[in-house]
Chains A and B, each alone.
Chain A
């Protein structure tokens, strides 16, 4: 079963080819890492999946429907790279507002804050929180409705190692225990080991689509960093 199916996706913007003939599939109930240097097209790909980015050509099927279909809006949780929350509201007010959009109440909002380890800060205005905490409020706004598909754009950027480990544990539990499908972008390659599958983008092209173990054996590398370097330099 695939959550996402992409065939021949091309996105051109002002003459530049941002995504160049992508073909890929993402299985349901998995954590897929979308990796690549900045500017490689990760954000554009996520925006295509969420229906915010116009495509030049190709077909993109998300949960059995064309990307951007109105019925998908109830089923996708999305975080942008910059935390998209209201700094003048408290953490709980933010998560509750997003929850209300999915018909979900206070208990679920508190639960979402607990899942990102911010229960203590529920009544703190977001503007008074640290950068990493604000990112997690934004994440809680996407988690609150327990959507079948979570598209997270660099959710772990700028966080300390312990928090990053906890978030990856959370992502795996959302996928493996609750059956959600997660696509998580990152430019930090050492996060790849946490994923079930990896998609490596470079200059808009898909240069790897494999499991972490498969990637290691295919590239004859000792660790994932080496594997990526081998691929990029090949």
Chain B
């Protein structure tokens, strides 16, 4: 691993994104519009929005970065650039971390936009720590990018990559406590949801918004997400093969 090559790769991925203003607009604007829509749908029950918004702030980075990374990596694989990159001094870790950093930066901007809208326009209760809220969003995004990287090894084209979205994200979404509190789920569902990282992001964001102080549970949540992101990055990087048969 070489920090200079890692950063060069992150800069290259960001330069590619910069040339794609439509994707940037979708990544930044879509979560804000959806949050506003939720607010309007539950205009008669404002307490529902207070409950839902933190969970949505946790879900968007995972969902969107998963999608963007899986498609970008399928392109690297099918376009021949991956094979070529792996014949250069670039390490696998440089490539994987480069992607993680680039989408982490994008997630930070997305988190700022989505939480800014929620707090100052849509009237979400002020969280006990805004930086921690953003930190969870970024860790969550890096996790999404890492999962996308892993899935790109199973998909042979962009069509398939997109199909993996419901398979990887939807179960996490259902079991995250967003639809039903995890405490009221059947025991085995609760157990399954405990190994799904989105649960911790939803839990952490919810605690930050509901409470005026930062509890240690939030730090644990953040640690679990960051740990899952690291594991997913390591597993994802093993799918990059220098030698094939």
Task: Tell me if chain B binds chain A.
Answer: yes
| Chain A residue at minimum C-beta to C-beta distance from B241 | A52
Residues in chain B near residue A76, CB distance under 8 A: 87
Q: Is B15 an interface residue (CB 8 A)?
A: yes
B87→A89 contact, CB < 8 A: no
Report Cα–Cα, A113/B105, bound state, in Å. 31
- Given contacts A52-B83, A78-B87, A82-B80, is CB(A100)–CB(B8) below 8 Å? yes
Report Cα–Cα, A151/B84, bound state, in Å. 11
| Chain B residue at minimum C-beta to C-beta distance from A80 | B80
Q: Is A13 an interface residue (CB 8 A)?
A: yes
| Contact partner, A52, options B9, B19, B86, Cβ 8 Å | B86
Q: Is B245 an interface residue (CB 8 A)?
A: yes
Residues in chain A near residue B243, CB distance under 8 A: 51-54, 68
Residues in chain A near residue B86, CB distance under 8 A: 52
Q: Is B88 an interface residue (CB 8 A)?
A: yes
Q: Which 6 residue pairs are nearest across A and B when measured between Cβ atoms?
A: A84-B80, A100-B8, A84-B84, A80-B80, A101-B88, A84-B81
Question: Looking at chain B, what size class is its interface with the partner chain?
Answer: 20 to 34
A89→B84 contact, CB < 8 A: no
Residues in chain A near residue B244, CB distance under 8 A: 52-54
- Given contacts A51-B242, A53-B243, is CB(A88)–CB(B20) below 8 Å? yes
A86→B84 contact, CB < 8 A: no
Q: Is A178 an interface residue (CB 8 A)?
A: no
A82→B79 contact, CB < 8 A: yes
Q: Contact flags (1/0) for B60-97 with A, using CB distance below 8 Å? A: 00000000000000000001110111111110000000
Residues in chain A near residue B87, CB distance under 8 A: 50-52, 73, 76, 78
- A-B contacts, 25 listed (Cβ < 8 Å): A13-B245, A52-B83, A52-B86, A52-B244, A54-B244, A54-B245, A73-B89, A76-B87, A78-B84, A81-B80, A83-B80, A84-B83, A86-B16, A88-B19, A88-B20, A89-B16, A93-B12, A97-B8, A100-B4, A100-B5, A100-B8, A101-B5, A101-B85, A101-B89, A103-B4
Residues in chain A near residue B19, CB distance under 8 A: 88-89, 125
| Chain B residue at minimum C-beta to C-beta distance from A147 | B88
Residues in chain B near residue A103, CB distance under 8 A: 4
Residues in chain A near residue B80, CB distance under 8 A: 80-84
B12→A97 contact, CB < 8 A: yes
Count A/B pairs, Cβ under 8 Å. Answer: 70
Q: Is A165 an interface residue (CB 8 A)?
A: no
| Contact partner, A86, options B5, B81, B242, B245, Cβ 8 Å | B81
A98→B245 contact, CB < 8 A: no
**Chain B contact residues, CB within 8 Å of chain A:** 4-5, 8-9, 12, 15-16, 19-20, 79-81, 83-90, 242-245
Report Cα–Cα, A40/B62, bound state, in Å. 46
B227 shortest CB reach to chain A, Å: 30
B16→A88 contact, CB < 8 A: yes
Residues in chain A near residue B245, CB distance under 8 A: 13, 53-54
Residues in chain A near residue B4, CB distance under 8 A: 100, 103
Report Cα–Cα, A142/B168, bound state, in Å. 38
Q: Is A102 an interface residue (CB 8 A)?
A: yes
Q: Is A85 an interface residue (CB 8 A)?
A: yes
Q: Is A74 an interface residue (CB 8 A)?
A: yes
Report Cα–Cα, A125/B242, bound state, in Å. 28
> Beyond the given A68-B243, A73-B88, could you list 17 further A-B residue pairs with CB under 8 A, ordered by the A residue number?
A50-B87, A51-B242, A52-B83, A54-B244, A73-B89, A78-B87, A80-B84, A82-B80, A84-B79, A84-B81, A86-B81, A88-B19, A89-B15, A101-B88, A101-B90, A125-B19, A141-B84
Report Cα–Cα, A84/B86, bound state, in Å. 12
| Chain A residue at minimum C-beta to C-beta distance from B7 | A100
Report Cα–Cα, A74/B243, bound state, in Å. 17
A74→B89 contact, CB < 8 A: yes
Report Cα–Cα, A165/B4, bound state, in Å. 38
A24 shortest CB reach to chain B, Å: 21
Residues in chain B near residue A97, CB distance under 8 A: 8-9, 12
Q: Contact flags (1/0) for A58-79 with B, using CB distance below 8 Å? A: 0000000000100001101011
| Chain B residue at minimum C-beta to C-beta distance from A87 | B79
B145 shortest CB reach to chain A, Å: 18
A153 shortest CB reach to chain B, Å: 10
Residues in chain B near residue A53, CB distance under 8 A: 243-245
Report Cα–Cα, A93/B9, bound state, in Å. 12
Residues in chain A near residue B12, CB distance under 8 A: 86, 89, 93, 97
